[in-house]
Amino acid sequence: MPTSFTETPRDLAFVLSEANRTLSREPITIVSGSGVVKAGTVLGKVTASGKYTPSPNASTVGKEGAETATAIAAYEVDATSVDVATVGITNDAEVKKPMLVYDSTVNDDTKKATKLTQLRAVTIKAR
């Protein structure tokens, strides 16, 4: 009987280039309740806590500010029931557009283009 596997995005596989050493990376915290956040997920920063979550299309109660994309998750983490410390790509990087992962509310090309424009504002360029 054949065995099949589902491969999830590999850690940092979405990065084309970044600033020397680890200048493009910063320690970040993914807020509890975000679920499994895959590597390459476009993130927004919650204004009240300074923690990150997948960047939704519009403001979400309790996660105001996160609707603006400001980082990308470098590694897959499970923040279903607890905050998780990890690393994010936060500036000065080029990333592979087809490998980016978006919140379920970012479900069409126009919304994705908006997220890419927001990332460009923090010097992350998708190619």
pLDDT tens digits along 38-81: 999 999 999 999 999 999 998 878 889 999 999 999 999 999 99
Rounded CA separation 120/1 (Å)? 47
Share of the chain above pLDDT 90, in %: 86
Domain boundaries, the chain: 15-126
The structure's pTM equals 0.92
Fold that domain 15-126 belongs to in CATH:
Virus Head Decoration Protein; Chain: A, (2.40.300)
Q: Are 43 and 88 in contact (CB under 8 A)?
A: yes
What pLDDT score does 94 carry?
97
DSSP code of residue 99: G
Share of the chain above pLDDT 70, in %: 99
Residue 15 Cα to chain centre, angstroms: 12
Dihedral angle computed from the Cα positions of residues 56, 47, 74 and 104, in that order, rounded to the nearest 10 degrees? -10
